[in-house]
A and B are shown apart, each in its own frame.
Chain A
Amino acid sequence: DVKVTQSSRYLVKRTGEKVFLECVQDMDHENMFWYRQDPGLGLRLIYFSYDVKMKEKGDIPEGYSVSREKKERFSLILESASTNQTSMYLCASSPSDGDQETQYFGPGTRLLVL
Chain B
Amino acid sequence: RKEVEQDPGPFNVPEGATVAFNCTYSNSASQSFFWYRQDCRKEPKLLMSVYSSGNEDGRFTAQLNRASQYISLLIRDSKLSDSATYLCVVRLSGYSTLTFGKGTMLLVSP
The answer to the question of A103 belonging to the interface, with a C-beta cut-off of 8 Å to chain B, is yes
Which one of A64-72, A76-84, A93-101 is at the interface? A93-101
A43 touching B100, Cβ below 8 Å: yes
Q: Interface residues of A toward B: which range? A: 20 to 34
CA distance A42 to B98 in the complex (A): 13
Partner of A90 from B32, B34, B43 at Cβ < 8 Å: B43
List B contacts of A33 (CB < 8 A): 97
CA distance A108 to B41 in the complex (A): 9
Within 8 A of A (CB), among B1-42: 31-32, 34, 42
List A contacts of B102 (CB < 8 A): 40-42
State how many angstroms separate the Cβ of B90 from the closest Cβ of chain A: 12
**Closest B residue to A41 using CB positions:** B102
List A contacts of B72 (CB < 8 A): none
Query: B76-110 vs A: 1/0 string, CB under 8 Å?
Result: 00000000000100010100111011110000000
The 6 A-B residue pairs with the shortest CB-CB distance, nearest first, are: A42-B102, A105-B43, A43-B100, A31-B96, A99-B32, A102-B46
Give me the interface of A with B, judged by CB distance under 8 Å: 31, 33, 40-43, 45, 48, 50, 58, 90, 94, 96, 99-108
Give me the interface of B with A, judged by CB distance under 8 Å: 31-32, 34, 42-46, 49, 87, 91, 93, 96-98, 100-103
A-B contact pairs, 22 of them (CB 8 A): A31-B96, A33-B97, A40-B102, A41-B102, A42-B100, A42-B101, A43-B44, A43-B87, A50-B96, A90-B43, A96-B96, A99-B31, A99-B32, A100-B32, A101-B96, A102-B46, A103-B46, A105-B44, A107-B42, A107-B43, A108-B42, A108-B43
